[in-house]
A and B are shown apart, each in its own frame.
Chain A
Amino acid sequence: DADVTQTPRNRITKTGKRIMLECSQTKGHDRMYWYRQDPGLGLRLIYYSFDVKDINKGEISDGYSVSRQAQAKFSLSLESAIPNQTALYFCATSGKGHPEYEQYFGPGTRLTVT
């Protein structure tokens, strides 16, 4: 089984709808991240959480919110989706004190907002 899973893998939604993307991990890591990928822009950090009670905004947090329900779960919400939030979304995890700060990525969620 994959260590980092994301649901759904693909989603099409309409402008104005609320949508939640979920991420779960079995690696026992304390740190979790949400990134968004747009063509030509690479991946950009939306939110990150270093433990259940620590949530921080990333580079592009406007229009997004997150919830860290447990150490293993980190959800990303779009309260009112808009077309320019159409992108590929990745969840990632890393371990506290891991010497190389390597991040492990989920398979991605492709979101289309029409």
Chain B
Amino acid sequence: AQKVTQAQTEISVVEKEDVTLDCVYETRDTTYYLFWYKQPPSGELVFLIRRNSFDEQNEISGRYSWNFQKSTSSFNFTITASQVVDSAVYFCALSEVGSYNQGGKLIFGQGTELSVKP
């Protein structure tokens, strides 16, 4: 069965520190997609990144970077030089592909609440 685990429930850092949010997933599919979403205090879900299972290249976008390792079934998210505006709940999610009638559903981790203090 598919499962996403974010073992870190809450993380607190001081501004300008680097922080890594862990995500471990389980799936029997060979083709799948992984996502990260940000949920700021206002409550909406903000899409950050998607990665398909055939692309293990790490990605960097400004202060954000993602490390995808199929060997350890992990898709970790690092924020460099954190800022107060990064304070939010971050969700990792897995999407099944499968057949037409099965693909597309998202399985979310429990979320990690990041607090960046000035």
Contacts and interface: CB of A to CB of B under 8 A. Distances in A.
Nearest to B45: A105
A64 interface: no
Interface residues of B, number: 27
A19 interface: no
Interface string B51-74: 010000000000000000000000
B50 to A, nearest CB: 5
A90 B45 contact: yes
B106 A45 contact: yes
Q: Which of the listed residues B45, B91, B97, B100 has the most CB atoms from chain A within 10 Å of its own CB?
A: B45
Contacts of B104: 31, 48, 50, 94, 101, 103
Nearest to A102: B50
Interface string B30-50: 000101010000011101001
Given A50-B100, A100-B50, A101-B33, A110 B106 contact: no
A32 B100 CA distance: 14
Given A31-B104, A54-B101, A102-B50, A42 B43 contact: no
A94 B106 CA distance: 11
Mostly helix, strand, loop or mixed at chain A's interface?
A: strand
B9 interface: yes
A96 B52 CA distance: 17
A101 B103 contact: yes
Interface in B56-111: 91, 93, 95, 97, 100-101, 103-111
22 contacts: A31-B104, A40-B9, A42-B110, A43-B93, A43-B108, A44-B108, A48-B104, A50-B100, A50-B101, A88-B43, A90-B45, A100-B52, A101-B33, A101-B103, A101-B104, A102-B35, A102-B50, A103-B95, A105-B37, A105-B44, A107-B44, A108-B45
Given A40-B110, A50-B100, 6 more contacts: A33-B105, A42-B109, A43-B93, A88-B43, A107-B43, A108-B43
